[in-house]
Amino acid sequence: MAPPSTSKNSSPRPSIATPNSSPPEDPEYPRQLWTIPDPPAVLYYQGDLRHLLPPSIAIVGTRSATDYGKRWTRRFTETLARQGFTIISGLAAGIDAEAHTTCLNLQTPTIAVLGTGIDIPYPRQNKALHDQLAQSHLIISEYPAGTGPDRRHFPKRNRIVAGLAQATIVTEAGEKSGALITARLAKSFGRSVHVLAGSLDNPNAKGCLQLIHEGAEIILGEPELLAKLPTPHKPTP
């Protein structure tokens, strides 16, 4: 699994690994995905695969985030990134973009899992963010280059987000948010799910409250969250 071409005159070459190959043949395929149902048979990537090595946490949520949701997404991202976690999300508008952008500002690792080909920024408003992540962080997809947005792909890619992470955090989500799919998949994979409760008056909190009703851990603050995470963490400078 060779890294993408870095030639200035050519597009980055997608690289491929399959979970059905032996580890010596595809040593860079994420081992976390071997343990989930229906692991992606093919992964394409652009960026630094070393970001797959540290312990990682998924932070996901609504595309129509409020200031409250964005503020707490930044706080949790900063706290976890400084503790040595890689932050995983889906490059969607709203909460996902806030988590990735916070990591860029901190210069700490982040991974974007796309529901398109790695060469197709989506949504278009996140093109600059997509390009920055591809250059200095990591973007991955099970879809080949040139694959455009398809509403069926985004729920499916959520299993990769949940599968790569040791735990999933939902900071703000409505009743129909795709973040609920990610959280429920994480729970089915045996990973912990942590949710920020919101106001009953906020439609973007109803999904979070539903997850708490289903047994997700309610987040009471950063120290309490860190104490409940399943992976040892090491502070970064």
**What is the distance between the alpha carbons of residues 228 and 224, in angstroms, rounded to a whole number?**
6
Give per-residue pLDDT as tens, 40-87: 888 899 999 889 887 999 999 999 999 999 999 999 999 999 999 999
Q: Which two tokens stand for residue 109?
A: 């690792």
Q: Fill in the amino acid letter for 53.
A: L
pTM of the model: 0.88
Give per-residue pLDDT as tens, 115-159: 999 999 999 999 999 999 999 999 999 999 899 999 899 999 999
Domains, in order of start, for the chain: 43-226 (3.40.50.450)
> What confidence score (pLDDT) does residue 83 get?
93
**17-26, 83-92, 142-151, 194-203 — which one is most confidently predicted on average?**
83-92
